[in-house]
Structure 1
Amino acid sequence: MENRLVDNFKRIGFRKWYERQLLSSHAHMVLAFLSVIALVGAMEAFRTAQGDAQLANVLFVVVCAAIGAWALRRYIFLLMRAEQAANQASCPDCGDYGRFHVVGHRPRVHEIDLRCRKCSRDWVFSALK
């Protein structure tokens, strides 16, 4: 996970990575919202169904609930990871946001060494485990 984060920072830069994380998390939020709508529809259809159709609607309710729970969990994870990264992306000296080079990383302690492009100050980025 951390090596992929380092590779993304090097390849596309922090700002594009952050934007993609926010877009991906909000896409999961939309999926969770749509699954709630489908869940309500399936529950409504269950009331009027008979026999095998009721069983199919119960299955549909379970599937919609599982998809919605997964999407909501993924939304929260991606959003929190992006916000944690955003809180560490400013240079401690000059305050320049999101403009750094990856100098190295220490996978065992989940840290990435960064260097500011503006003032060349080094600082440590703590990656999510």
Structure 2
Amino acid sequence: MNGRLFESVKRNGFRKWYERQLLSSHAHMVLAFLSMIALVGSMEAQRHAEGLTQAVDVLFVLVCALIGIWALRRYLFLLMRAEETANQATCPDCGDYGRFRPVCERIQAMDVCCRKCSRQWVITTPK
């Protein structure tokens, strides 16, 4: 995961990476919302069904619930990772936000260098 972060920031810059993370996380939030609507619809259909149709509706309820839970977890993970990384993206010396270049990759961290004042610092990334 950190390798993709390092390469993406190196290729596109931090601000583009951050924007893409937020867009991706919010797409997962929309998926979670839609799956909850489908869950409610499946529960309503299951209530009025009989026999084999009721068994299929129960299956739909389970699938919708699993998709919703997965999408919500993914939404929270992407959002928290983006925010935790963004909170460390300000240069300690000059205060310039998000204008750095990645220097080297570490396990769960990356060394970055400010484009304005050339100060180096470490940005840690969540698991």
- TM category (shorter chain) comes to over 0.9
Q: Which residue does the alignment assign to 1:127?
A: 125
Q: Which residue does the alignment assign to 1:95?
A: 95
**Runs (5+) with no aligned partner, structure 2:** none
Deviation at residue 111 of structure 1 after TM alignment: 1.9
2:86 maps to amino acid = A
3-state SS, counterpart of residue 63 of structure 1 = helix
Aligned length: 127
1:81 maps to amino acid = R
Query: Distance in 1 between the 2:119 and 2:38 partners?
Result: 51
Q: Which residue does the alignment assign to 1:43?
A: 43
1:64 maps to amino acid = C
Which whole-Å deviations, capped at 9, do the CAs of 1:86-106 have from their partners, x for residues lacking one? 000010111111000111122
Query: Distance in 2 between the 1:40 and 1:56 partners?
Result: 15
Query: Distance in 1 between the 2:34 and 2:102 partners?
Result: 39
Query: Distance in 2 between the 1:106 and 1:32 partners?
Result: 33
Q: How does 1:50-69 map to 2 (within 5 A)?
A: 50-69=50-69
**Runs (5+) with no aligned partner, structure 1:** none
**1:117 maps onto 2:118 in alignment:** no
Q: Which residue does the alignment assign to 2:83?
A: 83
Query: Distance in 2 between the 1:105 and 1:9 partners?
Result: 11
